[in-house]
């Protein structure tokens, strides 16, 4: 059984999880903690579209996403937090 680690989503958070498939490949999962007391309808739509777009892009054009990943190491203007 694989080791599990909990990811805590605070109110308003969204997460894209990439899971390694033992038989090869990967799976993309999207999680939201959409708190309607702090997020507007527009916020919720934005985060839903953003995460779905990320998941769709990686599954439909993987090479492009990998190229962006490579470029991100060269561009220090944008901060990406990796845990």
**Rounded to an integer, what is the distance from CA 62 to the centroid of its chain?**
14
- Decide: helix, strand or coil at residue 40: coil
Q: 70 Cβ partners below 8 Å, 6+ apart?
A: none
- Cα–Cα dist 59/73, whole Å: 22
Q: 43, 67 in Cβ contact below 8 A?
A: no
Place 3 in a pLDDT band, splitting at 50, 70 and 90.
confident
Q: What is the pLDDT of residue 65?
A: 94
pLDDT, averaged across the chain: 90
pLDDT number for residue 12: 95
Residue 73 is predicted with a pLDDT of 84
Q: Using one digit for the tens of pLDDT, what is the confidence trace for 37-77? A: 999 999 999 999 999 999 999 999 999 999 998 988 887 77
Tell whether pTM > 0.85: no
């Amino acid at each position: 059984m694989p080791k599990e680690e909990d990811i805590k989503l605070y109110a308003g958070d969204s997460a894209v999880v990439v899971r390694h498939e033992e038989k090869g490949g990967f799976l993309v999962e999207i999680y939201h903690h959409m708190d309607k007391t702090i997020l507007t309808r527009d916020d919720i739509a934005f985060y839903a579209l953003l995460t779905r777009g990320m998941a769709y892009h990686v599954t439909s054009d993987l090479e492009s996403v990998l190229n962006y990943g490579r470029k991100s190491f060269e561009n220090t203007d944008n901060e990406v937090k990796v845990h």
